[in-house]
A and B are shown apart, each in its own frame.
Chain A
Amino acid sequence: MTDRSTLAGNGRKIEKGYNFAFLDEFTKREIRRKILKAVAIPGYQVPFGSREMPLAKGWGTGGIQITLSIIGEPDVLKVIDQGSDDSVNAVNIRNLVERMTGAQTTADTTKATIIQTRHRIPEEVLKAEQIVVFQVPFPEPLRSIEPSEQVTRQMHARKDYSGMWLHLYEDIVKHGRITIGARYPVMVNGRYLMDPSPIPRWDVPRLDQAPVLHLFCAGREKRIYAIAPYTSVEPLEFEDYTFEVEDFSGKICERCGSSDTFLDEMIDETTGSKKYFCSDTSFCDKRQGSGEI
């Protein structure tokens, strides 16, 4: 293969013929301005002129636009998909950022300055200097009860969330409990109902009063939103039917023995029995190794 790379300011190789971080500077500036607006109004969906990326829509085009707009040469990037650094799409996204910026990458949650994620928040405690970038398929929490964007924007403006409360109530009447799995709707800063992206309910309490900045971006739907550090994030619940996280009681990770992490369920091919493994693979590796977390 021919070498098509050139040197970035940090001495690392980046792809020749492309601007630093792929997007042109005007686009990156626009996205950073929209991020600032999103941070200033936590939970509010800011429309932006989403660009087509060299990834398919629905494969992280929103997350990658944020990452490429905020990343600088000294940054260290971690990319996970469903908790795993080695998932094929996470590898692909990480390679793209490496090729276009020369930025360093890591699987170690504590060493990353930017963590781009699909469907999980890393298990380890995150620090104030870190930024978590979420890939979002559906930015609109009300979409399941109202298909029209024009109408849902009005509902947010009026803080009219009665439809969602009714939806939860009907769920309880029909099934005896709230049956929302991932993408559990949360109220941000007591004002905006927000879709936390398809993270499991397990991760939802970690958004509340967190020291890190959470940035959310939906490329296909062209929306950016954010949870500023130390912002209140409450899952919708009733006094008598409270929010519940996934139940892994009595189950432990077969690899590292954790009993306090989100677990993936596997079927053993030979015995047919169920086995459990940590969804956060780098956490699992660490706990198996030195135990320093």
Chain B
Amino acid sequence: MGYVLVKGGGEAIKNAEAMVGSMRSGDSDAVTTAQVKDGMRLAVDQVMGEGGLYAQDLAALAIRQANGDLIEASFLIRAYRSTLPRTGYSENSDTRDMFVLRRISSAFKDIPGGQVLGPTIDYTQRLLDFGEKDGDEEVDRELSGEANVSADGSTDRGADGEGTGSAAEGFDIPKFSKVADLLREEELLEDASANPDDEPFDITRESLRFPAPRSACLQTLARGETGAMLAFAYSSLRGYGSVHPTIAELRVGYVPLRITHPYTGNAVSIGDVQVTECEGILSGVGTTRITDENKFSLGYGLVFGHNEKKAISMSILDGTLAVSEPKSPAEDQEFVLYHIDGIDAMGFVEHLKLPHYVTFQSGLDRLRAVQNEVEDD
């Protein structure tokens, strides 16, 4: 008999949940939330982005609770988010105010302020490091960031930074102008399609309507599942579409967040959020794509935390979604925006595990009727 008919479904659920805990292999210590937060920062960042809530401790808790399943962890965060009332909106943040950890441009060799490599494994050989195991003091020290940072890109910052930042905690935070600004000054870049003063669409309070405004597209992309966005962006790069950007600038760092004080009306800082931002100059493969105004256009990506592949994918998809006559899947707004949400996709695909006895019976009835018809003929 199927699990729909078993009496005491409640008991079965409890036992099944208990068994999840027993699936743990080995007898090592359980991972703590702090260890997840400190040692798996990229997983934490991905969950904050896809969960749509900037809360490192909660994301770490969710990852631990989900046994490392990042879509499941993002889902836990989203569900928790539904219990929180919406009390206000932040003011616009300017990423020019970013405390930069990393910034690179693949459009120009020399950029004002210099290229800052920051934390990256891009130029390392991806070899499994068998020395990296628990208890290895050298490795532990390196992982905890105590090791001396030798000649890496971050030394560029102090030297070449423009130093226009305000003094905070006793030292100047260097600020970097944007590479895209150089192109704007020369009137090579199309103006942004959205007016920053327009009230943005809020995808968490309204359902999408098509054609979706750019603010709705960008919000949906910002919460999209990294893997799904990567796949759609890749499809455009590889052949199903024509968008293939040159990265004007990819930057990672901390952006101050301000809200308007409800009583004084003044802007009040409520902290910093780490973000990854990508501005891609949209051009075709080996060709340049020039707009009707004889300018380049910019694809924009901004995601919580440090997640470069998602930020770049987002800038590509921002470009594909703006194509006026969509031809490929990545250029179809409904196709992209309806299918990149990991929580939607995971839930619906996995709902196939639920009983479908009634619907299947109904279909069976039709098939038998059609077969009988054929036999009668």
A contact residues vs B (CB 8 Å cutoff): 18-19, 22-27, 30, 47-59, 61, 81-84, 86-92, 95, 118-120, 137, 147-150, 175-177, 179-183, 198-202, 220-223, 244, 246-247, 262-266, 277, 279, 281
Contacts and interface: CB of A to CB of B under 8 A. Distances in A.
B4 A82 contact: yes
B84 A24 contact: yes
A87 B362 contact: no
A180 B338 CA distance: 26
Nearest to A247: B365
Contact of B359 (A48, A52, A59, A119): A119
Interface in B1-51: 1-10, 12-13
Given A61-B347, A182-B359, A277 B79 contact: no
A27 B354 contact: no
A182 B362 CA distance: 6
27 contacts: A26-B85, A48-B207, A49-B204, A49-B205, A52-B79, A53-B82, A56-B75, A56-B346, A56-B351, A58-B348, A58-B349, A84-B5, A86-B9, A87-B4, A88-B12, A91-B9, A119-B358, A137-B351, A148-B210, A149-B210, A175-B370, A177-B366, A181-B362, A182-B362, A198-B358, A244-B369, A262-B358
B359 A179 contact: no
B209 interface: yes
A54 B86 CA distance: 18
Contacts of A86: 4-9
B81 interface: yes
Contacts of B349: 58
Given A47-B206, A246-B365, 10 more contacts: A49-B204, A52-B75, A53-B82, A55-B347, A84-B5, A88-B13, A177-B370, A198-B358, A200-B359, A202-B362
A8 B3 CA distance: 33
B347 A19 contact: no
Contact of B363 (A90, A91, A182): A182
Given A52-B82, A179-B366, A279 B3 contact: no
A220 B3 contact: no
B72 to A, nearest CB: 9
A142 B192 CA distance: 36
Nearest to A85: B9
Interface residues of B, number: 58
Contact of B3 (A26, A88, A180): A88
Interface in B333-377: 334, 338, 343-344, 346-351, 354-367, 369-370, 373-374
Contacts, number: 170
Question: Which 9 A-B residue pairings sit nearest by Cβ, starting from the closest?
Answer: A57-B347, A58-B351, A222-B207, A56-B347, A181-B363, A52-B78, A181-B362, A58-B348, A51-B82
B324 interface: no
B264 interface: no
B196 interface: no
A279 B361 CA distance: 10
A242 B362 CA distance: 17
A266 B354 contact: no
Contacts of B13: 88, 91-92
B211 interface: yes
Contacts of B374: 176
A279 B82 contact: no
Contacts of A56: 75, 343, 346-347, 350-351
Nearest to B3: A88
A50 B366 contact: no
